[in-house]
Amino acid sequence: MSEQPRRMQVLQAIVEDYVSSREPVGSKALVDRHQLGVSSATVRNDMAALEEEGLIVAPHTSSGRIPTDKGYRIFVDQISEVKPLSAAEKRAVQTLLDANGDFNEMMARTVRLLAQLTNQVAVLQYPHVDSSTIRHIEFVFLAPRRALVVVILSTGQVDQRAFSLDVEANETSLTVLKQQFLRYLDGLTPVQAAEGLRLALAEVPAEDRDLALAFAAQLDQMFAARREDRIIMAGTANLARSTGDFPFSIGPILEALEEQVVLLRLLTEMEQDVRGLSVRIGSENTGSLSEASVVAAGYGPGSGAKLGVVGPTRMDYPGTMTAVRAIARYLSRILSQ
């Protein structure tokens, strides 16, 4: 084996051992654990060359080495094939995502499952619903002064909101009002709904106007929420258990996750490679996420939304990439049905 392929094999072994043990890796350990087919002296020379290229570094005075962000990048780029999930993992994914429940419940289950599979913080960007249209709305009395609004979209997604009423009404006026709104909203996207609400309100009789305004306000808030980018996440405790992987503090990373703006911008910017994945490592991210790695994949119509994980650079990249891509594909399949 020539020098360069062997050095890449040494780099791969260092990454795998360091991810597994969190301990700097020495030449003797590499020879003992991996079938490199060369002596410790040759491995030491290879490690010196890798260090000179900026792919590994000595964290202290220790003789062992750990990968740099650049080293992780070379390692990730060499992963030509993303392995499939195991049979047990596939069954778990299918069982969980095929379970009954509305769209929001399915999204929550998805992000929890991804956090469990990767032991990282899982994040999920809600799909852009510009192409979804309003199929049905329902107004329901829950109590004399309390009502429920239900909106069903063409994708099967269901939104509902309960609220208090300041005006009295009967079932008949509620049914008439629902039909009036549906006449102007049916077939519109959430983006177009504001105009539909305006037209519907223009034709409401004066005696029902206060009631109509109350329901219109709830509908407008529901549609506005669907127009905004939203992220849900799970597994933040996994990050807290990895504090040893962050040289300073996990505080800025937790703040970025909580604020979501930084994460949304990053997910939007990340472009998928030929494997259907996006991987940003350490310093490739700016600001508060510069000490973390992000692995993401697009899903849904046109792969416009993304799901992924955030974790330390000392991450099981092959396993994480497998889980992220598999969950994204399962979710896309369900949403296309």
Q: Which of 227, 260, 281 is the last residue of a domain?
A: 227
| Predicted local distance difference test score (pLDDT) of residue 300 | 79
Give dist(CA 67, CA 47) in Å, integer: 11
Q: What is the CATH number of the domain that holds 185?
A: 3.30.390.60
Q: By C-alpha distance, which of 115, 121, 102, 89 is closest to 330?
A: 89
Same domain, 219 and 152: yes
Same domain, 98 and 179: no
Same domain, 107 and 236: yes
Same domain, 236 and 320: yes
Same domain, 104 and 252: yes
Same domain, 243 and 330: yes
Look at residue 82 and tell me if it is in a domain.
Answer: no
| Predicted local distance difference test score (pLDDT) of residue 157 | 82
What is each CA distance from 65 to 26, 28, 54, 60, 62, in whole angstroms? 6, 12, 11, 9, 8
pLDDT tens across 209-258, in order?
999 999 999 999 888 777 667 889 999 888 877 767 776 678 888 888 88
pLDDT tens across 75-111, in order?
999 987 788 888 888 888 888 777 777 778 888 999 9
Q: What is the pLDDT along the chain (337 residues), one digit of tens a residue?
A: 456 788 899 999 999 999 998 899 998 888 888 888 888 889 889 999 999 999 999 987 667 899 999 999 999 999 877 888 888 888 888 887 777 777 788 889 999 999 999 999 999 998 765 567 899 999 998 888 889 999 998 878 888 999 998 887 778 888 889 999 999 999 988 878 888 999 999 998 888 899 999 999 999 988 877 766 788 999 988 887 776 777 667 888 888 888 888 888 888 888 888 888 999 999 999 888 888 999 999 987 667 789 999 999 999 999 999 999 999 998 888 877 6
Give dist(CA 89, CA 109) in Å, integer: 15
Tell me how far the alpha carbon of residue 65 is from its chain's centroid. 32
Same domain, 51 and 147: no
Same domain, 313 and 250: yes
**257-264 contacts: CB < 8 A, separation 24 or more?**
257/121, 257/123, 257/233, 257/310, 260/231, 262/287, 262/288, 262/289, 263/123, 263/231, 263/289, 263/310, 264/125, 264/229, 264/231
| Predicted local distance difference test score (pLDDT) of residue 112 | 94
Look at residue 183 and tell me if it is in a domain.
Answer: yes
Same domain, 72 and 32: yes
Give dist(CA 90, CA 95) in Å, integer: 9
Task: Return the structure tokens found at 288.
Answer: 């508060």
Same domain, 29 and 147: no
Q: What is the CATH number of the domain that holds 67?
A: 1.10.10.10
Q: Which of 227, 245, 261 is the last residue of a domain?
A: 227
Helix H or strand E segment including 151: strand 146-153
Q: Which domain holds residue 197?
A: 134-227
Q: What is the CATH number of the domain that holds 304?
A: 3.30.450.40
Q: How many domains does the chain have?
A: 3
Look at residue 191 and tell me if it is in a domain.
Answer: yes
87-97 vs 317-336: helix crossing angle, rounded to 10: 40
Q: Which of 173, 198, 227 is the last residue of a domain?
A: 227
Q: By C-alpha distance, which of 140, 147, 151 is closest to 162?
A: 147
Longest dimension (CA), the chain: 91
Evaluate if pTM is beyond 0.85: no
Same domain, 223 and 247: no
Look at residue 108 and tell me if it is in a domain.
Answer: yes
Same domain, 209 and 235: no
